[in-house]
Amino acid sequence: MLRDDLGQPLTILREDYSATPYWIDTVDLTFDLDPAKTRVVNRMTLRRNADVPAQPLKLDGEELNLARVLVNGQSASFRMEGKQLVLDNLPAEGSFDLEIFTTCCPAKNTKLMGLYVSQDAFFTQCEAEGFRRITYFLDRPDVMASYTVTLRADKARYPVLLSNGNRVDSGDLQGTGNEGRHFAKWVDPHKKPCYLFALVAGQLVAREQRITSRAGQEHLLQVYVRPGDLDKTEHAMTSLVYSVLWDEARFGLPLDLERFMIVAVGDFNMGAMENKGLNIFNTKYVLANPATATDVDFANIESVVGHEYFHNWSGNRVTCRDWFQLSLKEGLTVFRDQEFSMDLAGSASARAVKRIEDVRVLRTAQFPEDAGPMAHPVRPDSYIEINNFYTVTIYEKGAEVVRMMQTLVGREGFQKGITLYFERFDGQAVTCDDFAQAIADANPESELARQLPQFKLWYSQAGTPRLRVETAYDAQAQTFSLTFTQTVPDTPGQSGKSAMVVPVTLGLLAADGRALPLQQSGDAVPVAAASGTEQTLVLTQARTTVTYGGVTEQPVPSVLRQFSAPVVLEADDSDDQLLVRLRHDSDPFNRWEAGQRLSLRRILAGIAQEPAAASADGQVLLDAAYIDALRQLLRDATLDAAFKELALTLPSENYIAEQLDVVDPQRIHAVRESLREQLAHALYDDWLHAYEAHHDNGGYSPDPVSSGRRALAGLALGMLVLAARRTGDAVWPGRAYQRFKDAGNMTDRQNALLALLGAGHELAQPALQRFHALFRHEALVIDKWFALQGGAVDRQGQVLPQVRQLMKHADFSLKNPNRARSLIFSYCSANPGAFHRSDAAGYVFWSEQVIALDAINPQVAARLARALDRWKKLAEPYRHAAEEALRRVAAKADLSNDVREVISRALAA
Ligand code: B3K
Ligand code: ZN
């Protein structure tokens, strides 16, 4: 077991939760901002929590220099217990004042937690436990206080001084020693946990917009950026305005502040942070114009702006009792931002595209996590470093759990549940159980209410359930039955699991694609929702059979429509059945899924072939039926381009790897590439047609229709350039290069460059050079430039040497998380064909970078450490080499807890 300096176990257990021994009612902070030595005076009023036995006050602190402690104005004695500041003999009755004087050094704060400097401005990041790096405090989310904050700093260097809430005073400082200095005083009208505290100070400019809510309330919205970036703030502001309107319209949740600010910062550990009234964002999720940002960037900005804004209710007004409940706010808020983007997308097809994209993330990132050494329940039972648990399980699987609740109670019922949840818990710090109970209580007649204890297994059981479906058609009796068998796999620390509540939306198709009516016969399986031709069954048993009567012909089942539950569906659909669904399924998600299954089947067959039997590059023979179906889809004038692009994109290498017990990443890469190349040739005329029909997009707009057209044109161009590899044709590479040069927006430009890179064409190099020259002053575009190279298709093992070379580039820095991610993560985590080298050099590189990053920024290092999570599944020689690399990192003496936890779990599992 891992222990701290005092010999205490490092593992924090959910079952050890106990209420806080003290409440902090008010906090008055004064900052004298100086990069080298910032002085913080923290004046608090506290009182004992009468519900728990009297005990000393233990305040958390980290990397602080403590100068003085006063209790009720008198200097007080204190002691240190490890990192905690301990005060005994505090007044037993009533409130008392506590003043703490500390200093810290923001300039040296490379962890980017607490108060730090980025490009000569001050920023904070407190979630989860960064506030203790600013002052001594009860750093836990269930302690909520009213904050007053005074910022004092040099006026010329830090003209803008921001904190949460409303600015109540500002001006120049008087007196000797204060020449050229000014101050601003902020009061936050809402109580909050300290993880939502924020301050910003620096040279910033703002785009502003005033809006009036439905209730007639006026609000000022501001997006702060560095001077020179204002021309990239329009989309973020528009997204913010839509977010405010949407939350009020869909959930009746209004903005509760006069002023709502977003500030962009170039050095940031994650995407963004929902500090009350003062959201701090990675520049990547704020700055965009058509020349610098892709459609994906525009869509991400909309989601992240929405996400952080929605936290204002789901997270800030009602927060988490403890960090084990993280998904209470994150799962719910991801669900809300997904719904927001879908509602904005408009058409049914655009909604489905968003759903497919979300499921793709879940299956390529969360399913592997749930099957690996870091698997944990949506509500974990233990952790060493909470920052390691901001995971796809907490976020994306957590969102699926909320989505299943909505499916079980219906959209209106869910709305009622949300209203009850906020009524019941406003201003409190609560648990996942509280949330589920509120949704159920608002819908007492629902399947959710009936099955609530079992439903909550989604919070406690880790691992992705597998749902097997077997079907039988009785032509004489005209019945069709489906038998579902459910198993939940063992995960580290959890075995022998129970059956879960699984909502399964399904329909039956005739061979010509007609939807068949659904009438259950025999013992009925509960249904959460039904139309004549679609039902949502609620499975609760390890084995369930449902039988439909009056089925006059052998049907094609379409099961798990809209991906109604986060499970692995195992079905033995024939190719013919999948082809019917690919042509006709009325559910776009399952239509797409049918295509993915057909492709996956061919890829897996290619992988299973003896390498010698297949041609050298893992050639898979493609059948005419499959090719024809894809051709029809590509030519179908009734389908949206965005959907076609998704349907014609092969499953990712990571997703393919998940289907296999033993993974040979090179083989997966070779077979997938071979299939891609064959599709490029077999559908050549169709790609040509698609490109011609979609490549001219007129003026730029990031809406779903035009971005879909660009996506399809990009895919088609990639295929045409790829086809030229074998034919030696110079026309398409030349056209791609030309398009790269002339592109009117970043999406088209990057797609053209990717087409050249994907085909390994010699024009990729001059294009990359030109790209750098054009955008050398745009940090976010330079990130793309690094990412394109770290993620490039590896044809001669050239990618790793190139990555090593790029680390020496003047623009590279390990200290900037975006830059580190753009090059190193793109290579180690997103380029399996280049990373898994038989000479182990990729893993050696990984271990070096994990160690180097850990000394700078443990949170970022721990993310990179996860690139080898699934090493046990690797075939030799990869497996052995990966283990060695993990052991090399583990052997390092002074690893952070962050990296130690990830590596030791990987080696233990
Ligand atoms: N709540 C923050 C994430 C904080 C991560 C701390 N390591 C952003 C978000 O989920 O909205
Ligand atoms: Zn969040």
DSSP letter string, 151-188: EEEETTT--EEEESSEEEEEEE--STT-TTEEEEEEE-
User: CB-based contacts of 311: which residues, under 8 Å, 6+ apart?
Assistant: 274, 329, 333
Reported as a single tens digit per residue, the pLDDT across 296-326 is 999 999 999 999 999 999 999 999 999 999 9
Query: Does the structure show a pLDDT above 90 at 752?
Result: yes
Query: Given the CA of residue 271, which atom of ligand 1 is nearest to it?
Result: 8
pLDDT of 620 above 80: no
What radius of gyration, in Å, describes the C-alpha atoms of the chain?
28
Residues 821-847 pLDDT 10s: 999 999 999 999 999 999 999 999 999
Instruction: Look at residue 264 and tell me if it is in a domain.
Output: yes
Distance CA 485, CA 569 (A): 10
pLDDT at 617: 57
Q: Tell me: do 418 and 499 sit in the same domain.
A: no
pLDDT of 159 higher than 50: yes
Catalytic residue among 99, 308, 330, 593: 308
What is the rounded average pLDDT of the residues 402-410?
A: 98
Number of domains in the chain: 4
Do 155 and 281 lie in a common domain?
yes
| Residue 551 counted as domain residue | yes
Q: How many angstroms is it from 310 CA to the middle of ligand 1?
A: 13
Domain boundary among 537, 558, 579: 558
- Among 460, 486, 518, which residue terminates a domain? 460
User: From atom 4 of ligand 1, which residue's Cα is the shortest distance away?
Assistant: 127
Q: Closest ligand 1 atom to the C-alpha of 859?
A: 7
Residue of the CA atom closest to atom 5 of ligand 1? 127
Which residue's CA is minimally distant from atom 8 of ligand 1? 273
Whether pLDDT at 616 is above 60: no
Domain that holds residue 878: 776-909
Top mutation candidate among 125, 126, 270, 395 for ligand 1, by most atoms within 8 Å of CB: 270
Atom 9 of ligand 1: nearest residue by CA position = 273
Closest CA to 232 of 213, 207, 209, 210: 207
CA-304 nearest atom, ligand 1: 11
Please tell me the number of the ligand nearest to residue 126's CA: 1
Last residue of a domain, one of 410, 427, 460: 460
Among candidate residues 485, 477, 547, the one with its CA nearest the CA of residue 519: 547
Q: Specify whether the CB–CB gap between 620 and 603 falls below 8 A.
A: yes
Give residue 286 CA to ligand 1 midpoint distance, Å. 16
- Average pLDDT, integer, range 584-609: 97
Supply the CATH number for residue 478's domain: 2.60.40.1840
Counting from 1 in the atom list of ligand 1, the atom nearest the Cα of 128 is 6
CATH number for the domain spanning 788: value is 1.25.50.10
For 630-674, write each residue's pLDDT tens digit.
Answer: 999 999 999 999 999 999 999 999 999 999 999 999 999 999 999
What does the mean pLDDT of the chain come to? 97
> pLDDT digit string (tens) for 221-242?
999 999 999 999 999 999 999 9
Domain check: are 908 and 865 in the same one?
yes
Per the annotation, the verdict on 762 as an active-site residue is no
For ligand 1, pick from 111, 126, 274 the residue to mutate: most ligand atoms within 8 Å of CB: 274
Q: Is the pLDDT of residue 722 over 60?
A: yes
Residue 7's pLDDT is what?
77
405 and 494 part of one domain: no
Based on the fold, state whether residues 780 and 879 are members of the same structural domain: yes
CATH of residue 323's domain is 1.10.390.10
Kindly identify the ligand whose nearest atom is closest to the C-alpha of 281: 1
b or e along 343-352 (b: 16 or more beta carbons within 10 Å of the residue's beta carbon)? Answer: ebbeeebbbb
Report d(CA 452, CA 605) in Å as an integer.
Answer: 42
The β-bridge relationship of strands 535-539 and 65-71 is unpaired
Phi-psi region of 893 (alpha: psi -120 to 50; beta: other; left: phi over 0): alpha
Domain check: are 499 and 367 in the same one?
Answer: no
In the 3-class helix/strand/coil scheme, how is 257-302 assigned residue by residue? CCEEEEEEECCCCCCEECCCCEEEEEHHHCCCCCCCCCHHHHHHHH
Task: Give me the pLDDT at residue 614, please.
Answer: 47
Instruction: Decide if 601 is inside a domain.
Output: no
pLDDT at 813: 98
Question: Are residues 375 and 489 both part of a single domain?
Answer: no
Tell me, yes or no, if the pTM score tops 0.95.
yes
At 319-375, the pLDDT tens digits run 999 999 999 999 999 999 999 999 999 899 999 999 999 999 999 999 999 999 999
Is residue 309 in a domain? Answer: no
User: Is the pLDDT reported for residue 252 higher than 90?
Assistant: yes
Ligand 1 binding pocket mutation candidate from 338, 383, 390 (most atoms within 8 A of CB) = 390
Do 419 and 506 have their domain in common? no
- Give the pLDDT confidence of 38-59 residue by residue, as tens digits: 999 999 999 999 999 999 999 9
Residue-wise pLDDT for 799-821, tens only, equals 999 999 999 999 999 999 999 99
196 lies in some domain? yes
Q: Are residues 225 and 329 part of one domain?
A: no
* Residue 421 domain-assigned (yes or no): yes
pLDDT tier at 470 (50, 70, 90 boundaries)? very high
Question: Among 469, 335, 461, which residue's Cα sits nearest to residue 398?
Answer: 335
Residues 437 and 543 in one domain: no
Return the residue whose CA atom lies nearest to atom 7 of ligand 1: 387
Residue 127 resides in a domain: yes
Domain identity same for 423 and 472: no
- Average confidence (pLDDT) over 852-859: 98
Domain holding 228: CATH number? 2.60.40.1730
Q: What is the mean pLDDT of residues 487-505?
A: 98
Residue 750 counted as domain residue? no
Provide, rounded to the nearest whole percent, the portion of the chain with pLDDT above 70.
99
Residue 333 Cα to ligand 2 middle (Å): 6
Residue 402 shares a structural domain with residue 523: no
pLDDT of residue 104: 98
